[in-house]
């Protein structure tokens, strides 16, 4: 019951953010086809970008592009939207309890708070997973439409990266929701924070600053490396797993300790 309640409550937000991801995907693929036919204009635009941006995003300046090189750059922007999406539904699934007296609904039946928060997190994870699967299907369709070769292995790793990054930011959002009661106190700072994370990611890639890669979730899933090697850097998978387990248990502990 609680799982379905929270699933339905966050569905609208999920649809909106998934649609935004689709729009970026479609516009990006259109831009790719335009760049393919007008390479001189594209390379002229690239060469006018700051050098640290070119290095940070892994943009090639020799015009020797494969489709997946371009797609990796596009996914960097989609990851920003995915992080915002995940942090928002994580935050609002906690905030709305305080706003719409959902606790009164939850506690009508004999159920402990640990079970409540687990079902709430599970509902959010299902929405993230559904969004990622739908995105994968849409990406597959458009790759076929523009007559590019579909590489399942690369796409699987990239889409898994989107989901795993969302999982981390979902828990960050839920954690903040336990301590902040106002929507306005969350939205602007979260957007700024995520863009700062992405900027740090660009800097760490551009100047090869290793320690920054370990403190920035965006660096855990370097899409350009995935395209090049067709595998994860597994040390970052270990860090992600630890982070998810730690945050999950911490959130459950804090939620359970709050007074009913």
Residue 222: the pLDDT is 83
Which residues does the chain have with pLDDT short of 70?
1, 35-46, 58, 60-65, 96-110, 259-260
The closest of 259, 257, 228 to 114, measured between CA atoms, is 257
Q: What is the DSSP letter of 100?
A: T
Domain with 52 in it: 2-257
Contacts for 30-34 with beta carbons within 8 Å, 24 or more apart? 32/67, 32/70, 32/71, 32/74, 32/146, 33/146
Q: What is the pTM of this model?
A: 0.87
Query: CA 147, 150, 155, 156: dihedral to nearest 10 degrees?
Result: 150
Q: Are 88 and 11 in contact (CB under 8 A)?
A: no
pLDDT digits (tens, 9 = 90+) for 46-93: 677 777 777 777 676 666 667 888 888 889 899 999 999 999 999 988
What is the phi-psi region of residue 148: left when phi exceeds 0, alpha when psi lies from -120 to 50, beta otherwise? beta
The closest of 66, 68, 124 to 91, measured between CA atoms, is 124
Residue 64: the pLDDT is 67
Number of domains the chain contains? 1
Extract the tokens encoding 229.
């090697």
Residue 224: the pLDDT is 84
């Amino acid at each position: 019951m609680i799982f379905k309640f929270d699933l339905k409550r966050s569905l609208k937000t999920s649809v909106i953010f998934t649609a935004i991801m689709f729009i970026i995907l479609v516009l990006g693929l259109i831009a790719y086809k335009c760049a393919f036919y007008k390479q001189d204009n594209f390379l002229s635009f690239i060469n006018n970008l700051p050098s640290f941006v070119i290095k940070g995003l892994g943009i090639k300046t020799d015009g020797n592009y494969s489709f997946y090189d371009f797609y990796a750059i596009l996914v960097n922007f989609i990851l920003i939207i995915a992080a915002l999406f995940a942090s928002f539904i994580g935050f609002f699934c906690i905030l709305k309890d305080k706003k719409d007296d959902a606790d009164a609904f939850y506690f009508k039946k004999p159920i402990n708070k640990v079970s409540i928060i687990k079902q709430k997190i599970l509902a959010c994870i299902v929405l993230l997973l559904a969004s990622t699967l739908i995105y994968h299907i849409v990406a597959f369709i458009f790759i076929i439409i523009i007559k590019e070769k579909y590489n399942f292995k690369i796409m699987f790793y990239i889409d898994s990266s989107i989901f795993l990054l969302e999982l981390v930011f979902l828990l960050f959002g839920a954690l903040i929701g336990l301590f902040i009661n106002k929507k306005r106190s969350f939205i602007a700072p979260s957007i700024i924070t995520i863009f700062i994370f992405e900027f740090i990611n660009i800097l760490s890639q551009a100047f090869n600053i290793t320690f920054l890669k370990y403190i920035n979730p965006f660096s855990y899933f370097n899409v350009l490396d995935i395209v090049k090697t067709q595998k994860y850097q597994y040390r970052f998978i270990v860090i992600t797993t630890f982070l998810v387990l730690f945050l999950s248990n911490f959130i459950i502990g804090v939620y359970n300790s709050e007074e009913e």
